[in-house]
Amino acid sequence: MARTKLRKLQQVKELSNVFHHETENVETDILNYFNNDKEITFEIGCGHGEYTVNLAYHFPGRNYLGIDVKGSRLFKGADHADKAGIDNVAFLISRAEKLHVLFKSLKTSEIIIPFPDPHVKRRSAKHRLVSPEFLARYKYFLTPGGRIHLKTDDEMLYNYALETIEKLSLRLHINKSNLYGDEDELMIKKVRTRYEEHFLQEGRIIKYVCFGLH
């Protein structure tokens, strides 16, 4: 298993659509890779990258940047996008905590956080991707009027997100305690993550919150 991860990590570094946070001028490299004026969606915690690639395929009018700390995970999605010629998607190997330092000119109007680790212990609350600490970092690169989309099957994280939004007096756009509980045509429903498909088969309820910081 360790050898497989090392091999994938080496292979992923050779792909032109994968970038590393330690690279000098990484945000310029990403912008040059896209080389267009389309808006960019950030997916934070993209895992293997299949969801990022599917979003890029279904919505070619935007660029998509999948971000994950583990480069070996990204290989599957990045390799698929590269071979399929899906050029409105790229990947960044980085911790989410570093993004506000990395991005000076690279901005986004949309952040997607799909099924993140809920960090259930109270002492780990600051590590939740919708904690006040993370939201303060997102302000550096989320454009005015931009939106954050959270999908989760975790009741605690869902409630925590709503409490945080209220506490910080943020703008709540959409709140769905059961995303698939009605027949509306929200764009967020049109593409599902691998976890989402699995959770729905198990009968779990998917929650969705869309909100803004400005």
Residues with catalytic annotation?
117
CA atoms within 13 A on the CB side of 50: 9
Cα–Cα distance, 196 to 206 (Å, whole number): 8
Sheet order of strands, 207-212 included: 18-20, 89-93, 63-68, 40-44, 108-114, 142-152, 207-212, 171-176
Type of residue numbered 174: I
Strand partners, 65: 42, 90
| CA distance to 72, 136, 182, 188, 192, per residue, from 58 (Å) | 25, 31, 22, 12, 11
Both tokens of 150, joined, read 């959270």
CA torsion angle for 154, 113, 211, 34 (degrees, to 10)?
-170
Asked whether 47 and 75 are in contact (CB, 8 A), the reply is no
